[in-house]
Structure 1
Amino acid sequence: MSTSNPFDAIREFETSDGSNASFASLNVLEENGHTQLSSLPYSIRILLEAALRKCDGFLVTEEDVKRIAAWSPTQTPGEIPFMPSRVILQDFTGVPAVVDIAALRDAMVSLGGDPSKVNPQVPVDLVIDHSVQVDVSGLFPDARERNLEIEYRRNMERYQFLKWGQQSLDNFRAVPPGRGIVHQVNLEWLASVAREESGIWLMDSLVGTDSHTTMINGLGVLGWGVGGIEAEAVMLGQPIYMLLPEVVGFELRGELRPGVTATDMTLRIVEMLREHGVVGKFVEFFGTGLANLSLPDRATIANMAPEYGATCGFFPVDQVTLDYMRLSGRDEGHIQDVKSYLQEQGMFWTTDSPTPEFTSSLHLDLSDVEPALAGPKRPQDRVNLSAMKSHWRESLNAEIGHQGHGVSPSENNRVIQVSDPNGDDFELGHGDVVIAAITSCTNTSNPSVMIAAGLLARNARSLGLKVKPWVKPSLAPGSRVVTEYYDAAELSDDLSAMGFNVVGYGCTTCIGNSGPLDQHIEEGIDKGDLIVGSVISGNRNFEGRVHQKVKANYLASPPLVVAYALAGTLDIDFETDPLGFDSDGNAIMLADIWPSDAEIRNAV
């Protein structure tokens, strides 16, 4: 906090232990006629708090504070400084930032100075999650250990360097491989929501060197992905300069129907916001429907802000947020202090809170959401599950483009005979699913959809269903917490039986770290020039991203990933086509093994 305190904004609130804590009060700005807090979107209030707290007349001026305080739906955007309270990195894009800090230390030595004085000026966390590949598929019970061993061999030099960083630098932590995906680790552990630093309480906010840093907005923490230079600037105590954003309000009403997942909801929201146009804007969610969304549901929506094009998709802090903090093991005293601080700042949302003003607004009744996938080449191209079979057949023959593969109708039924190393023969054709991956920060953070996948695997196993032999299945949870609740629910063995053993705790297939397909599968694809598919619980499906030989890639909820692994093809209508047959020859439909909402709730 600047010692000048030009707005005389320092106030106090009583903490859970009875002591008083200081903070830069937004109410002071309202009392002095600079703003009307209830009209400001919650996300703008966080920008305002950071500016007020950091106002020093140099990096952040009084005019900057007044400009943010005067935000309105009809504003002419002006440039503002934003000083996030911390930075989060992942191991691909974050390592160069640490290298630059090391280079600055070398330069300090060359100048005869003390290199230990060169440190990040704000807390920095680097989570190693982008390096693990699915070299060994989920068909093998020891896949996780084998993939982790390969990861260490490939990346040992980088990991040793990051260990040096953690031991040598102040304000820097490195989370080692095998712990989880950066955004899930941030959600479960790193994020404070609000905290005290240097005697002043502040709103948690951040930038990160990964586009899906936005996931943390589901926890009411403002943050988004930036380039390495911007991240380094923040690390060294400098602000990010940006235009004061427009804010699109997205009202949620009602609740999801039974059988509809948070993934289905998120894909619908992506579709709507892409149509609306939100590039360079904040999106803020509000409405009665918020009370019907769990914190992981909100995180799923916030995660895909890059896919709908927004800078962030923000959810204000409410009781659901505090309940999640408690569930994830945050200190009870801290949780109470967070609530008290946010109430003092007018940033704690309840159903009675006034609706802020927005630049524009959209509305979605959650009861209208249908089960869906998105693909074959873009996350905004949503397809209702009921229409997937007809969609697939149309896209196979459609002109090459976002929705087409350009195959001649005369080649639709082309198949290639394939033999695996065990001597088993099968046919491989267009639309066969060769990758089925429960992966990514988007969905593996959400217990409801992950438990649903486990229950579907259990039900399928009990009826004798198996994953098709050409499918490469994998399970890469967002953190070890997922494995813990799978074990507690006794679902790990059922997933293992379906080929969904844990392959690692990292991004894996979602960022293209799918690893190789079996040689006989790749040869079959090449020989037949086949359009084969993947179904993944990720957030991006651009052609060539998941695997260079897989051209039809669909995003789906974790239970649908298991369903398509059992089906082995995109050319299926789950309402009319069976997944298989039981020992008496009776057809087994997806509806027969899909878990009910009550089953999911009981397991969770």
Structure 2
Amino acid sequence: MTTTGHDSLKTRRSLEIDGKKYDYYSIPAAQEAGLGDVSRLPFSLKVLLENLLRHEDGRTVTSDDVNALAGWLKDKKADREIAYRPARVLMQDFTGVPAVVDLAAMRDAMVNLGGDPKKINPLAQCDLVIDHSVMVDKAGSASAFAENVDLEMERNGERYAFLRWGQKAFNNFRVVPPGTGICHQVNLEYLAQTVWTTEDQNGSEVAYPDTLVGTDSHTTMVNGMAVLGWGVGGIEAEAVMLGQPISMLIPEVVGFKLTGKLKEGTTATDLVLTITQMLRAKGVVGKFVEFFGPGLDELSLADRATISNMAPEYGATCGFFPIDEETINFLNFTARDADRVKLVEAYAKAQGMWRDADTPDPVFTDTLELDISSVEPSLAGPKRPQDRVLLSEATSEFQKALPTLSGNNDGIEKKVAVAGTDYSIGSGDVIIAAITSCTNTSNPGVMLAAGLVARNARAKGLKVKPWVKTSLAPGSKVVTDYLVEAGLQDDLDALGFNLVGYGCTTCIGNSGPVAEPIANAIAEGELVACSVLSGNRNFEGRVSPQAKANYLASPPLVVAYAIAGSLNIDITKDALGEDQDGNPVYLKDIWPTNQEVHDVVRDSLNRDMFAKRYSDVFAGDAAWQSIETAEGQTYTWDAASTYVQHPPYFEGMQKDAGGFSDIQGARVLALLGDSVTTDHISPAGAIKADSPAGEYLRDHNVPEKDFNSYGSRRGNHEVMMRGTFANIRLRNEVAPGTEGGVTRHMPDGEQQWIYDASMQYQKDGVPLVVFAGKEYGTGSSRDWAAKGTRLLGIKAVVAESFERIHRSNLVGMGILPLQFPEGVTRQTLKLDGTETVDITGIEGGIKPRMTVPCAITRADGSTVNVDLLCRIDTLDEVEYYRHEGILQYVLRNLSAS
């Protein structure tokens, strides 16, 4: 729905462009009608303000909400909840499949409640891009791409058939088939419009800012082209699709001033790693970040998108860039409709959303500043994207981290011979070098720089070390077009960076197998092997089970480290190798100048590439089109499927919600430390044969070679609940000294898989809680981290602090997020997992951010009491929790309407 028609300030106006008329809700008109001067409101908040003006209905959006947002300028913050309605939803297949599974299950539940299943239908435009399923099974050869595509289609046929059913069954739901590109790059290059239009009920064309939520945390990438969007859990995205507003507090906005431009030898990746480190140190979780200053004029839109992409890594809700001349240039260059581009410019200028040299700086809650020319070549690692290290210090910093990474000081210097080869490997050697992920493969500057490094290295006779698995996974087919046009794909191929697929690959753990002799050598020597990838995530256990240290780097540095073969080589001063005459070759000998990169970008990209690649983007290839699928408004579930199963969330659901109840006699399933990520809670990567999920698949006659990944099996709750807290690097203090998804069942103390213990507790009617440290739930916006938690019988998670999306997802699944008071932790309370926990004060009703008493009884019978902060933050969230989940809330409302 575009508008409700309330419009108490009478702000509806018209724009005429080349004889075509557009209606819009005018911020300047609202100012004139008494709203006050909002000209220096941050651009990102002007988008929210327009959203409120357009959706004002006196109920979900009131004139007080509009005034509160306008009044933000006074205090630079506003402690007010607003109802925000994004224009559209973006999904990728790992999170999209379970979302469509939920919609299909909601249709069944609607039938059971006596309602019309067609009411369960996306009201907002929803696009799903299949980009997370391709794995790097084959690499380093001309046939790798074709072989990986064949394996992808073979493994994922059930899921793809299900998505094709959804494409037919639901309105406003489009699927971009596999082998097209990464969802964020497809969004940037094609789907996003910067200004969106919809025909209203009167037949008028209404223009408004393009906004979205996505089921992937890197949805923020499109903020680089002034599209306000961020990642939410699949649960929240489904609610938006079904017409529910996002309930949010008006955010603080941190302004990040950029001046200067990149100096010789640095890349956009170095810039974004620097910004990520600065903003993490600043503390911007739950806040908007907006970039301003003269430095914006030195950044291409691809550079801006690279910075915006990493918002989850610096912790912000979004990293926003306003509309300016560069936005218009990019829209034109990527073959957007000419009328749309004219509308974007005219609309932005009419609304006070246009930035140029004369625009006064917005007012911000707080600011920080970076002179871009001060940026130095950098990596980030070995475990977190915010842990930036200077390239010149990468070797020494790795060696400092090595004892902790190894846990086995005796093996640090050890070299292990690789069977069947003439070489040995040791700790610090790079076993994976991957040009991968949405962050950098969207940026022609760094991609073509990688090609130039490959060309120069090839000319010198340099080769990649034989123990390095190399791969190239571009974000879209346009990337292949310009690498070929520049003649650089041949050079990348010569070094083993052959095309492996169009998708996320290594960055999400789809790095595929490391050669068995190398894996055996790593295991034998307990080596700390390394990966270097141009990604955005390097959390423990994510990239590959064999790589304990993982470093984020620009694509050209990925090529350099593949040649060097080790983090123990300081590539800023040590030789990478020798040329044909035996002379040492250094990084400076093969690194292109900024001007060379600029020239090849100018000469090898053109508008026709975008026009051609996106002319029929939803059609897919012959393999996609030949997939047979079910028909009908409700889905015919296949009981034998190990990919798609009917989820149990709506079993026994009544027409009316019940009340609130206290949590009594709960046991502690897990005691976890700081920075527990959604990867730790719900891994996306490989399924181990001896894990509960592996046992389930074996019991269903799935051979180990066909296990696929957790991410690909998110449509099957049986696999996913067994995979919850199953990350191989999880450290649960209830079972000290262990690594992986284990706990101790109480009161007997028997060590078990977390899944098995959970099933026993649930059988005995024992509720469960989890205690954790700071930043619980950081990382990808993985709804299964909340869904799996719910299915394991966990009623509450108590942490020192929560990541924004995961906290919201917990509430969306009917789980209570509770926060320790300042200075109190699981450690100060000396918890060991033998305790029982009573959480009271809920039964009488919940108010946002109320205090909740918690009594912890130790094994010796002594009790400690602590008051916890209830992190149900809004009144809407109170309702979601009362209904035992947001989907139940939506379903009951739709059934009653």
Deviation, structure 1 residue 13: 1.1
Write out aligned runs for 1:186-585 (5 A): 186-198=187-199, 199-397=205-403, 400=404, 404-408=405-409, 411-420=411-420, 424-585=421-582
Q: Find the aligned partners of 1:593 and 1:387 in 2 and give their Cα distance.
A: 20
The DSSP-based 3-state class of the residue aligned with 2:95 is: coil
Work out which of the residue numbers 564, 586, 596 in structure 2 matches 1:589.
586
1:267 CA drift (Å) = 0.3
- Does the Cα contact within 8 Å between 1:59 and 1:238 map onto a contact in 2? no
Contact 2:5 2:56 in 1 (8 A): no
Partner secondary structure for residue 291 of structure 2 = strand
Larger deviation, residues 372-381 vs 26-35 = 26-35
Q: Which residue of 2 aligns with 1:153?
A: 154
State the alpha-carbon separation in 2 of the partners of residues 309 and 116 from structure 1: 38
Q: Distance in 2 between matches of 1:121 and 1:76?
A: 30
Cα deviation for residue 405 of structure 1 reads 3.9
Residue by residue over 1:159-179, the C-alpha shift from the partner in whole angstroms, topping out at 9 and shown as x without a partner, is 111111112221110111111
Q: Deviations over 1:312-353 (max 9, x none)?
A: 110011110111111111011210111101111110111111
User: Closer, same or farther in 2 for the Cα pair 1:19/1:573, shift >3 Å?
Assistant: same
Q: Which amino acid aligns with 2:167?
A: Q
Aligned to 1:31: 32
Q: Distance in 1 between matches of 2:57 and 2:390?
A: 53
- Residue 256 of structure 2 contacts residue 368 of structure 2 at CA under 8 Å; is this kept in 1? yes
Q: Name the CA shift for 1:278/1:112 in 2 (closer, same or farther; >3 Å).
A: closer
Distance 1:142 1:348 in 2: 48
Deviations 1:464-509 (A, max 9, x none): 1111010000111111110000110011111111000111111110
Equivalent residue of 2:35, what SS?
coil
- Tell me, yes or no, if the aligned pair for 1:4 and 1:56 is still in contact at 8 Å: yes
Q: Contact between 1:191 and 1:204, CA under 8 Å: does it hold in 2? A: yes
In structure 1, the residue matched to 2:182 is: 181
Name structure 2 gaps, 5 residues minimum. Answer: 200-204, 602-897
Match of 1:143 in 2: 144
Q: Contact 1:388–1:572 (CA<8 Å) still a contact in 2?
A: no
* Superposed CA offset, 1:139-177 (max 9, x none): 111111111111111111111111111122211101111
- Where do 5+ consecutive residues of structure 1 fail to align? none
User: Which amino acid counterpart does residue 455 of structure 2 have in structure 1?
Assistant: R
What is the number of equivalent residue pairs in this alignment? Answer: 593
**Deviation of 1:107 (Å):** 4.5
Q: Percent identity?
A: 58
Change (3 A) 1:56 1:501: same
- Asked if 2 retains the 8 angstrom alpha-carbon contact of 1:317 and 1:347, the reply is yes
Q: Distance in 1 between matches of 2:152 and 2:138?
A: 11
Structure 2 contact 406–527 (Cα < 8 Å) conserved = no
Q: Distance in 1 between matches of 2:431 and 2:575?
A: 19
Deviates more, 1:30-39 or 1:145-154: 30-39
| Equivalent-residue separation in structure 2 for 1:114 and 1:552 (angstroms) | 52
Q: Separation in 2 of the partners of 1:35 and 1:547? A: 55
**Between 96-105 and 74-83, the greater mean CA deviation after superposition:** 96-105
Q: Which residue in the other structure is 1:43 paired with?
A: 44
CA contact (8 A) 1:68 1:80 kept: no
- Assess if the C-alpha contact under 8 Å between 1:38 and 1:355 holds in 2: no
Distance in 1 (CA, whole Å) between partners of 2:5 and 2:528 is: 64
| 2:133 maps to 1:131 | yes
Q: Quick one: distance in 1 between partners of 2:492 and 2:189?
A: 24
TM-score where L is the length of structure 1: 0.96
State the one-letter code of the partner of 1:35: G
Higher mean alpha-carbon deviation, 115-124 vs 575-584, is at 115-124
1:350-402 superposed Cα distances (whole Å, 9 cap, x missing partner):
111111110000000001000000111111111111111211222223xx2xx
Contact 2:77 2:251 in 1 (8 A): no
Pairwise CA distance, 1:522: 0.3
Task: Give 1:576 deviation, angstroms.
Answer: 2.3
**Backbone CA RMSD of aligned residues:** 1.4
**Cα distance, 1:585 vs structure 2:** 1.7
Which fold has the larger relative contact order, with Cα–Cα distance below 8 Å and residues 6 or more apart in sequence?
1
Shift of 1:64: 1.6
Name the SS of the counterpart of 2:439 in structure 1. Answer: coil
* Contact 2:76 2:364 (8 Å CA) reproduced: no
Give 2:124's aligned residue: 122
Deviation per residue, 1:546-576 (Å, 9 max, x gap)? 1112111100000000000000000112232
**Which of 101-110 and 320-329 deviates more?**
101-110
Distance 1:246 1:125, change over 3 A: same
- What is the SS of the residue equivalent to 1:551? strand
Distance 1:12 1:385 in 2: 53
Q: Aligned partner of 1:87: which letter?
A: V
Inter-CA distance 336–570: structure 2 relative to 1 (3 Å threshold): same
Write out aligned runs for 1:6-85 (5 A). Answer: 6-15=8-17, 17-72=18-73, 73-85=75-87
Find the aligned partners of 1:146 and 1:58 in 2 and give their Cα distance.
Answer: 55
CA distance in 1, matches of 2:283, 2:115: 51
**Contact preservation (8 Å) 1:249, 1:361:** yes
Determine if contact 2:13/2:25 at 8 Å carries over to the other structure.
Answer: yes
